[in-house]
Structure formats: C-alpha cells, structure tokens
C-alpha cells in the first residue's frame, strides 16, 4: 500500500497537539484522510456523503487562522465524521432513508455548531442504518468485509477503525455506539443520558437517544465528547450546569488503581464461548482489582422494557415516514413501527419508571467500585451483512442512562476484535473515562490480554 494511503494511526490528542504547534498542517492531515478513503472506501463503504474539495477548503481556513496567530479551538484542524442523522448545512442529511433522499437542512445541529466553534473540520457524513434502526446500510467491517460492522452508527465506527478519520460522532438508542465500536475494534463512548444536546439529530426515542463518540482510545473520546457536552434549551434532557473536564480527568492518574465490579449481564449464558474465556482471563489478570457481582432478577426484564419504550416512541416520532411511504421502509423498521402502534399507553407509561428503579439498584454496586466491567457484545462481529448484531449487552445501560465505554482489549480466534465495556454511574463520565484510560494502558503493558491492530 502506498505510504500516502496509510491509515491515520496517531491518537486524536497527539494530532491536535501537532496541529496546534504547526508541526502538522490541517490540509496535510485532511489529505491523508482523503487518500486513505480513496483507497479503502470501495471495500469498507463507510461514507454517505463526502466532498474532498470542501474538506480541504475548511482545512486551509484552519491553517490560515493558525498562521495569523488567531485563537485556536480545542479541535482546531482535526477532521471529524458525522453520522448521517445529524443535521448539517451545505451537506445532505438523509437519515439512511429513501424518503429523505436529497434532504439538506437549513441549520446545523447543536453538536455541529460546537464542532465548528472548536475549529474542527467536518470531513463528511457516515453511513447509518435506515432511520438509525436495524435495516443495514452497505458498510462492511474493516477487519473482514464479510462481517458486519454493527449498527446503527456503522459508518462512523468503520471510518475510525480503518484509519480514514481520527474522530467521529454517532448515536445510541439501544447499542448503536458501543456495539459497532466493539465489532470494529476502537473506543466508543456513550455519555450519560442528556449530557450532549440532541437538537438537529434525528429523534427516534426521546427517552433513550444519546449522542456518542468514536476514537482510537479513551483520551480521544474524552477530547471530542468534552466539546459536545452542554445545555440546550431545545433539549429538555439537558441541564444548565458546569460540564466536566473530561480530557484532563481521563489523562490524570487515579489516586488508587481502579476497582471493577465484574457483571454477567442478562444474556451472558448465550454469549460466545470466546467471550466467556476472554473475560475469565481478564478477571484473573486483574486479580484483586475486580470482584464479581450478580444483578438482581429485575434486570432480566430490562431488555423488554427498553424495547417497549423504544417502539412506542419510535411509532410516534416516525409517524410521518409510516404515513408517507411505509412500503419504502425496510422490514425491520416496518415491524418495529407495528409493534409500537400496538403498545398500550399504560404499559408505556409504566415502563418509564424503570430507569429510576434500576439505577437505585445499581447505586449499591457503584458504591463499591469505580466502574462495572462487562462485555460490549456477545462475541465478535457476526458473519454476513444482513444483521447488525445483538445489543443485549448495551440496551440495559442505555435504558439506565449510565455512561459506557468500550475498549478493544480482546481478540477472537478469527482475528476479529471483541470489546470490553466499562459502565459508570449517571454523571460519572469523567471518572469512567479515567478508569478506561487506566485499563487501556494496563492492557497495553501486559501480555495477558490480546489486542488487534488497525487493519
């Protein structure tokens, strides 16, 4: 492979620092991204919209600002990819749906405004499953194109994993950040519910939808997420409060080595034997820093409760799609809308109470540990592109609104990555990222855990 088409291998924080000093120009970095995409996109198919000339135009503007001595943003010159359900002026936002073909918003989403203010280069829009649900797009797993990259933020995860772009933004309603990050072998971070405003992002489930980020490592995820945290009056899930210093905290040394609670979540018994073996090895290697915890039986109902909320709210939010062209939607989407329309109001309202109940039970666990340790997915990415994989190990934490991060610490026998998921209490995003950074560095310093390089 030509050197100019090599993947981006430096972490986002190091790239940011080189851009700030002028050791690396934004135009040079964007050119590297575009060259990589030119070589690999035919196989990976991560991008829904890409205009190289526009990306280079943004990069030259960032370089001119730095050369002129103007103030630099926290992401100055860093390319960022956006899931194609996030509104962008000038760029189409088609939501992975034939009914939105050609749609170009008149206003940027909140997160896009934040990215531009921070000096980021919006590289392009990445593939999403149809309406961010389960009908797959064309994206393939960068490690093996015969396997799914996961969903629904499949293009964002695949683009970062393949070294096409250092950072990307996605969303999670079930497992749409953590699962594709696990399958593609990168860091995915789903913050606490309400931490990142959702104005201008396709709304599927107001109770569950959460904006998340993708990076090569926890510090890159912290760098990007910190810029996106905030309050927006248009999103009632957000609060007017100081946001945490995610990057500084993530890079800081914990006062004591983190302690993890190993949880076998509902669905554990049906997980891949390689997942069982990998976590047995990991728990043994961590020794006294991990202890097992069994969740109460009520957690067994969480998957059904989350689905009930998701389907009911999806039927409401996607009513116009069902009205204007139900037959144009994929079978998975049609089935979900039908289920949502059949849910009784009393059952939906009762389901909304579960977040508080589950978090009350989790508070006893978090009182004894820094983070919960559990699988990010039942196993490596399944073979085939017709299914994006099982979100059984993600939906519970989305329902609870707790922050979660996955690290690519395990590798299956077929060479595909398997993620290790850490979960923290609501609002404990910074501490969770610090624990994740610690675990990532610990794993890189030990031979006990196998890792997988970028393809």
Is 205 tagged catalytic?
Answer: no
> What span, in angstroms and rounded, lies between the C-alpha atoms of 212 and 176?
9
Q: Are strands 260-263 and 290-293 parallel, antiparallel or unpaired?
A: parallel
Helix (H) or strand (E) holding 290: strand 290-293
DSSP structural state of residue 300: G
Has 25 been annotated as catalytic? Answer: no
Backbone angles phi, psi at 385, to 5 degrees: -115, 5
Beta strands in 353-394 (DSSP E): 371-375
The C-alpha atoms of residue 151 and residue 448 are separated, in whole angstroms, by 30
Q: Which among 83, 116, 125, 452 is annotated as catalytic?
A: 83
Instruction: Quote the strand ranges of 194-252, DSSP E.
Output: 210-215
Is 452 labeled as catalytic in the residue annotation? no
Residue 23, C-beta contacts closer than 8 angstroms, at least 6 positions apart: none
CA atoms within 13 A on the CB side of 5: 8
Catalytic-labelled residue, pool 25, 116, 152, 205: 152
What's the full length of the chain, in residues? 455
Q: What are phi and psi of 346, to 5 degrees?
A: -65, -40
Q: How many angstroms separate the Cα of 211 from the Cα of each of 198, 256, 304?
A: 7, 30, 22
CA–CA gap between residue 163 and residue 169 (Å, rounded): 15
Place of tokens 């977040």: 355
> Could you tell me which of 121, 111, 169 has the C-alpha nearest to residue 19?
121
Closest CA to 150 of 303, 379, 346: 379
What distance in Å separates the CA atoms of residue 96 and residue 238, rounded to the nearest whole number? 26
The active-site residue, picked from 25, 125, 156, 176, is 176
The three-class DSSP label of residue 422 is strand
Return the SS3 of 174.
coil
Helix axes 302-317, 331-342, angle to 10 degrees: 100
- For 411, left (φ over 0), alpha (ψ -120 to 50), or beta? beta
Closest listed residue to residue 336, CA positions, set 349, 353, 319: 319
206 token code pair: 């107001």
Positions marked active-site: 83, 152, 176
């Amino acid at each position: 492979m030509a050197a100019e088409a090599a993947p981006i291998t430096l972490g986002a924080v190091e790239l940011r620092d080189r851009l700030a000093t002028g050791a690396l120009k934004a135009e040079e970095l964007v050119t590297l991204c575009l060259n990589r995409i030119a070589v690999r996109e035919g196989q990976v198919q991560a991008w829904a919209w890409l205009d190289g000339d526009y990306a280079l135009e943004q990069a030259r503007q960032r370089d001119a600002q730095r050369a002129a001595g103007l103030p630099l943003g926290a992401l100055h010159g860093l390319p960022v990819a956006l899931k194609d359900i996030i509104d962008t002026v000038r760029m189409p936002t088609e939501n992975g749906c034939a009914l939105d073909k050609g749609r170009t918003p008149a206003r940027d989403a909140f997160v896009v405004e934040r990215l531009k203010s921070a000096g980021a280069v919006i590289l392009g829009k990445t593939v999403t499953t149809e309406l961010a649900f389960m009908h797959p797009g064309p994206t393939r797993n960068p490690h093996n194109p015969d396997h799914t990259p996961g969903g629904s933020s499949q293009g964002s995860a695949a683009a970062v994993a393949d070294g096409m772009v250092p950072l990307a933004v996605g969303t999670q309603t079930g497992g749409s950040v953590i699962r594709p990050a696990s399958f593609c072998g990168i860091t995915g971070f789903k913050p606490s519910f309400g931490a990142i405003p959702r104005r201008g992002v396709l709304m599927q489930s107001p109770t569950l939808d959460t904006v998340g980020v993708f990076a090569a490592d926890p510090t890159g995820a912290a760098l990007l997420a910190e810029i996106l945290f905030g309050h927006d009056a248009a999103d009632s899930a957000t609060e007017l409060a100081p946001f945490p210093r995610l990057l500084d905290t993530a890079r800081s040394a914990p006062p004591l080595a983190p302690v993890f609670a190993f949880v076998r979540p509902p669905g554990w018994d049906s997980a891949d034997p390689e997942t069982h073996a990998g976590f047995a090895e990991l728990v043994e290697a961590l020794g006294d820093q991990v202890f097992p915890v069994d969740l109460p039986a009520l957690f067994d109902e969480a998957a059904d409760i989350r689905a009930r909320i998701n389907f009911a709210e999806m039927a409401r939010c996607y009513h116009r799609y069902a009205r204007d062209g139900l037959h144009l939607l994929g079978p998975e989407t049609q089935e979900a809308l039908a289920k949502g329309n059949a849910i009784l109001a009393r059952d939906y309202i009762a389901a909304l109470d579960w977040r508080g109940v589950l978090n009350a039970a989790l508070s006893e666990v978090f009182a004894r540990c820094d983070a919960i340790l559990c699988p990010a997915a039942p196993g490596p990415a399944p073979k085939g592109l017709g299914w994006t994989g099982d979100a059984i190990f993600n939906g519970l934490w989305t329902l609870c609104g707790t922050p979660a991060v996955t690290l690519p610490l395990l590798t299956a026998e077929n060479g595909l990555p398997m993620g290790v998921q850490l979960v923290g209490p609501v609002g404990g995003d910074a501490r969770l990222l610090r624990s994740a950074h610690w675990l990532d560095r610990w794993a890189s310093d030990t031979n006990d855990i196998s890792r997988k390089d970028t393809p």
